[in-house]
Amino acid sequence: MDIILKENVANVGFKDELVSVKPGYGRNFLIPTGKAVLATESAKKVLAENLKQKAFKEKSVIEDAEKIAKKITKLELQISVKVGPDGKLFGSISNTDVAKSLLSKKIVVEKENISIPGKSIKRIGKYQASIRLHREVTTQLNFELLPEKK
């Protein structure tokens, strides 16, 4: 039985994908729960048109993400932090702090899309964070932690 998935289904397929499943699984679970529709000719045409429009939108989103990635790559971010006499930070720097620093430079990145070495940084120095702007666009951000001037 051919169906078109309306959402991601584990071990079956992804949203807007035409898949073949056993008739009982399709009729008794996927279609009644709204996770799929029967793959009729008209449904296939609608799917093809939707995928075409989605690809066009996706292209512009990727282009925007690549522009932001170029900005981030060129950026040398400096974050002032309170430190003790031995260069250890009071507290730590996490992806949230990096996101706030990027926001001050007018670059909006969700904290979930920033990964720094380890979970947090506890010493001053130069570091590199990986930023995922889109599932196909990832860039590196160089940043430096500097002691706060008193």
Is a pLDDT exceeding 70 seen at residue 150? Answer: no
Q: Report pLDDT digits (tens) over 88-137.
A: 888 888 999 999 999 998 999 988 889 998 878 888 889 999 998 887 88
Residue identified by tokens 């979930």 is 112
For residue 107, give the CATH number of its domain.
Answer: 3.10.430.100
Is there a single domain that holds both residue 91 and residue 142?
A: yes
Question: In CATH, what number is assigned to the domain containing residue 52?
Answer: 3.40.5.10
Query: Would you state the pLDDT for residue 122?
Result: 87
For residues 33-55, one letter each, b for 16 or more C-beta atoms within 10 angstroms of the residue's C-beta and e for the rest, the string is eebbbebeeeeeeebeeeeeeee
How far, in Å, CA of 5 to CA of 12, rounded? 9
Residue 29 shares a structural domain with residue 80: no
Q: Which domain holds residue 122?
A: 66-147
- Which residue in 85, 86, 102, 84 sits closest to 143, CA to CA? 102
Nearest in space to 58 (alpha carbons), one of 139, 138, 135, 140: 135
For the cut 90, the answer to whether the pLDDT of residue 58 exceeds it is no
The predicted structure's pLDDT at residue 149: 76
pLDDT, one tens digit per residue, over 14-57 is: 888 899 999 999 999 999 999 999 999 999 999 999 989 888 88
Rounded Cα gap, residues 95 and 133, in angstroms: 14
- Residue where one domain finishes, among candidates 45, 60, 75: 60
Number of structural domains (the chain) is: 2
